[in-house]
Structure 1
Amino acid sequence: MDGRLWVALKETTFRSLRHPNYRRYFAGQIVSFVGTWMQSAALMWLMYERTNDPRWPSWLLVAQIGPTLLLGAWGGALADRYPKRQLVSTTQTAFLLNALALTAVVGCGFATPVLVLALIALNGVIQAVDFPTRLAFVPDLVPKEDLINAVGLNSLVFNSARAVGPALAGVLFVVAGALVPYLPDGANAVTIGATVCFALNALSFLAVLRALRGIPEPRVHEKPGASAWAGVRYLRAHPAMGAVVLLTFALCVFGWPIITVLPAYTKLRLGLKEEAYSFLLSSLGAGALGAALTTATFGSVSRRGAFMLMGVAVCAGGMAGLGFADRAWTADGCCAAIGFGMILFLATAQSALQLAVPDEVRGRVMAIWAMTLSASAPLGHLIAGHMITEVGVGPVILGMATGIGSVALLLAGILVVRRSPRPTPQPPPSREGEQTRPLV
């Protein structure tokens, strides 16, 4: 039975792994994303612990994501003009060096909030090239019929790491706390745990670099000098794809801020510490993991609309529940629902774009997608971080739930309109003695 189940999984959920190049890339990403999420969780807690200000985690995420908004079109143009594997190798090396710098600064005690913010902003500049390039790279690793599955598996890797990485960071914080009594005076558990997380993240990029060495260079479609904004023109010419991007923007404005709300939620609403915070982040990742498996196994062109609508609805319900939750186990369940809904929508929307877009402009269209995520995230994070200080955690989360519910209603309306039968045009009545020409 187990053997038959594994064969069935290989033919459905994991069918893209039949392709050697994608299989190498998939394996490297597993290690790298775990390191990335360890660093992200450690950064958020380190900054909140150092400043005791819920706005600092928001500013960190703005510094990380904002450069993609400003430079993403340029990064997408590079992805269409130059070898993608070479670009990804360059950006991964730059990420490694940045993580080493962060390790040294925090570990040696030189880390001021402003200096850490500057290093994360530099990381964001690297991401402005890396993000659209990686999105455009995947269709070169699998045939078109396996692209939806590959996008689902990419989301599976990312969100598996999203569940595992913060949990590992939490374990490292606990171990660091246990070691503090045996260390010199002045040793701080959060600083030690964060430093180890940053160092492990730096090492994780070696797995991607090793995987990329075994992948041949994909073709380059575009000549240097082509417009970086061809992706915008494509979306204007294809309104359905443009609507997907706009709905993504709206959902992320109200959904992504949950990451920056959770540190304050953990302390102020639940009255707990970093272990509970890491479990909330892991619950988000676990829910997202379930959505990625759902997309990889059951995703198809015919189900795209239903999956996107279900994702937004589940996300809205989870966010509303979190706004009323006051126990850790209830909050964990709500976070899992939020993660499931967000990723079910985003993975389905991303695969819809990648299937529709021609090869020669894929990098630039996916750059618009990346810029959409990057524009919505800082906006949502800044608003949420400010509003927590004004009205408190609970009302902010309920406001986010209301916004996501509005997106669900809008998407439902669009799907109803698109699926409504349109009247078939009738030929004009013919005069006596004349033959009516066929319409087709």
Structure 2
Amino acid sequence: MNLTTFNSFKNKNFSLFFSGQAVSLLGTWMQKTAVSWLVYSITQSKLMLGISVFATLFPTALFSIYGGIVADRYDRYTILLITQIISLFQAILMTLAVIFFKENIVWWIIGLSALLGIINGFDAPARQSLVLALIVDKTDLPNALALNSSMVNLSKLIGPAIAGFVLEHFGDAVCFGSNAVSFIAVLTSLLLMKIPKQAINHKADKSIKKEFIDALSFIRGNRIIASAIIFTGLMGLLVLPFTTLTPVFAKDIFMGSASTLGVIDGFIGLGAFLGAMFLASLKQGTNLTKILAKNSFLFGIGLLFFSQTNNYFLAIFFLTLASFGMMSVRTITNTIVQVNVDNEYRGRVISIYLMVLTSTVPIGSVLVGGISHYIGAQTTVLIQAVLAMLLATFYLFYLRKEAKRNDDN
């Protein structure tokens, strides 16, 4: 770290946003851990684990393009406030379902997860595109995005560990209820912000189809954004869904309990947090695309050793290493998109990026869950590790080819 690592905190609005989201995301990761553990404990099905992930993420993919258009047409702050209030009610419903509908709880969880996915389809584009409005010096945008990712992953480090303890000692209802309570923090932080009304940069009388086509045309004309989104999609489909199998590693391979799952997910968060802090410490002007390719290769190496290690403590070490590299896939690609997109297209382009990520990961989760049923979780993750290294290698070759093409021109 260096003196510029925390530059974005000099902006009051960003500091409020950061603190509120940090508390809320603790609850979010507690709920995610509880969902995975509950579904696998009841069904003993790797496929159902994949379906539970699919139920949350795929509706986000379907609705995010509409969310991006809404984020470009209307005030992003207001949209975020509304989606957070609705998310609070969803968390309350999830808690009540766990308490009163034990017999059919898996299907209640899947249904309410799908509802959350729809909400996130509108929430994520507004939240991501609002970050620019929270900082005064726009050159701090990459730093703000990296710090935002560090907050997400610090909560992923702490949240699952707390969830494992709460699940064992207090039960699943308390775990789900904690998520509902956590929304108080984010709503309070949003209400304390003072953000100028968003300037609408394009006409709202265009059809949704025309607005979507305009955004796609912009992406096609920008090779940097296009390649980052394609790389994200391939990694999201083939590699990132390895996390679907963490309950299998915790319960079947390491013979552990809910606390074991909490520790595993927590170390994924630790590695990702360290990766995000590394990215926040990069100097302005650093070639992010090369960092993305190299860290993705590191992601694959870590996964390879994790998949083949039966020693719990060594596996945790390699998983942390993998998660350090994995962070670049989610953070640098997002930064590349945000830094290179015109504000007129910001909401829609971000929504297309999110649509690619949130559609490929759930499809990949179902594939991973199904394939691992036949060849085992360790072999499945080994294959994903090899694919990560191949994709990183091809992406680096592409970047060098593009650099040579630009030099020739």
TM-score bucket (shorter structure): over 0.9
* 1:197-212 alignment runs, 5 A limit: 197-212=175-190
Match of 1:325, SS state, is coil
Aligned twin of 1:54: 46
Amino acid at match of 2:22: I
Counterpart of 1:274 in structure 2 is 258
Q: Tell me if structure 2 keeps the 8 A contact 1:75–1:130.
A: yes
Please state if 1:332 is matched with 2:316. yes
2:129 matched to 1:169?
A: no
Match of 2:198 in 1: 219
Render the CA deviation track for 1:4-55: whole Å, top value 9, x for unaligned: xxxx85x411110101111111110110111100000011001111111111
Equivalent residue, structure 2, for 1:392: 376
In structure 2, which of residues 97, 117, 120 is the aligned counterpart of residue 127 of structure 1?
120
In the TM superposition, 1:305-316 aligns within 5 A as: 305-316=289-300
The counterpart of 2:230, out of the listed 246, 256, 276, is 246
Match of residue 334 from structure 2: 350
- For 2:406 and 2:46, locate their aligned partners in 1 and report how far apart those are by CA, in whole Å: 51
Instruction: Give the letter for the 1:420 counterpart.
Output: K
The 8 Å contact of residues 307 and 345 in structure 1, kept in 2 or not, is answered as: no
Question: What CA distance in whole angstroms lies between the structure 1 residues aligned with 2:395 and 2:355?
Answer: 21
Match of 1:297 among 274, 281, 291: 281
Structure 1 residues 51-90: aligned runs within 5 Å: 51-90=43-82
**What is the correspondence of 1:21-32 to structure 2 with a 5 Å cutoff?**
21-32=13-24
CA contact (8 A) 2:297 2:325 kept: yes
CA contact (8 A) 1:21 1:141 kept: yes
TM-score, L = length of structure 1: 0.88
The offset of 1:279, in angstroms, is 0.8
SS for the counterpart of 1:225 is coil
**CA separation of 1:67/1:397 partners in 2, compared to 1, >3 Å: closer, same or farther?**
same
Aligned length: 401
Per-residue deviation, 1:218: 3.8
Q: 1:101 is matched with which residue: 93, 115, 137?
A: 93
Residue 196 of structure 1 aligns with an amino acid whose one-letter code is V
Deviation at 1:232, TM superposition (A): 1.4
Q: Distance in 1 between matches of 2:175 and 2:211?
A: 36
One-letter amino acid matched to 1:166: P
How far did 1:244 drift? 0.8
2:109 is aligned to: 116
Q: Counterpart of 1:40?
A: 32
Aligned to 1:232: 216
Query: What's the RMSD between the two structures over aligned residues?
Result: 1.6
Structure 2 counterpart of 1:189: none
Partners of 1:92 and 1:255 in 2: CA distance: 30
Residues 36-90 of structure 1: CA deviation (Å, up to 9, x unaligned): 0000001100111111111122111111110122111100000011111110011
The separation in 2 between residues aligned to 1:253 and 1:163, in whole angstroms, is 24
Corresponding letter in the other structure for 1:220 = A
Instruction: Choose which of 126, 139, 143 in structure 1 pairs with 2:132.
Output: 139
Contact 2:60 2:120 in 1 (8 A): yes
Work out whether residues 224 and 336 of structure 2, in 8 Å CA contact, stay in contact via their aligned partners in 1: no
Bigger Rg, structure 1 or 2: 1
Q: Secondary structure at the match of 2:199?
A: coil
Q: Flag structure 2 segments of 5+ consecutive residues without an equivalent.
A: none
Deviation at residue 168 of structure 1 after TM alignment: 0.4
- Compute the displacement of 1:335 (Å): 1.6
- Partner Cα separation in structure 1 for residue 13 and residue 197 of structure 2: 11
**In structure 1, how many angstroms separate the alpha carbons of the residues matched to 2:197 and 2:295?**
33
Segments of structure 1 that go 5 or more residues without pairing to the other structure are: 1-7, 177-191, 426-440
Q: Which runs of 4+ in 1 moved over 4 A?
A: 421-425
How far the C-alpha of 1:424 sits from its partner, in A, is: 5.5
* Counterpart secondary structure, 2:13: helix
Give the TM-score taking structure 2 as reference length: 0.94
| Alpha-carbon distance in 2 for matches of 1:165, 1:225 | 43
Task: Judge conservation of contact 1:81–1:220 (CA < 8 Å) in 2.
Answer: no
Answer yes or no: is the 8 Å Cα contact 1:76–1:228 preserved in 2.
Answer: no
Q: Is the 8 A contact 2:167 2:175 kept in 1?
A: no
Residue 195 (structure 1) shift: 1.1
Does structure 2 retain, via aligned residues, the 8 Å contact 1:287–1:339?
yes
- Structure 1 distance, partners of 2:32, 2:114, is 13
Match of 1:401 in 2: 385
> Could you tell me how far apart the structure 1 residues matched to 2:191 and 2:407 are?
56
Q: Is the 8 A contact 1:95 1:123 kept in 2?
A: yes
Matched with 1:4 is: none
Measured in 2, the distance between the counterparts of 1:420 and 1:175 equals 59
Q: Distance in 1 between matches of 2:332 and 2:315?
A: 26
Structure-1 separation of matches of 2:151 and 2:408: 46
Contact residue 149 and residue 299 of structure 1 kept, 8 A: no
- Contact in 1 for aligned 2:268/2:323 (Cα 8 Å): yes
**Equivalent AA in structure 2 for residue 234 of structure 1:** F
Query: Is the Cα contact below 8 Å between 1:276 and 1:328 reproduced in 2?
Result: no
Contact 2:55 2:114 in 1 (8 A): yes
2:351 aligned residue: 367
Q: Which amino acid aligns with 1:260?
A: T
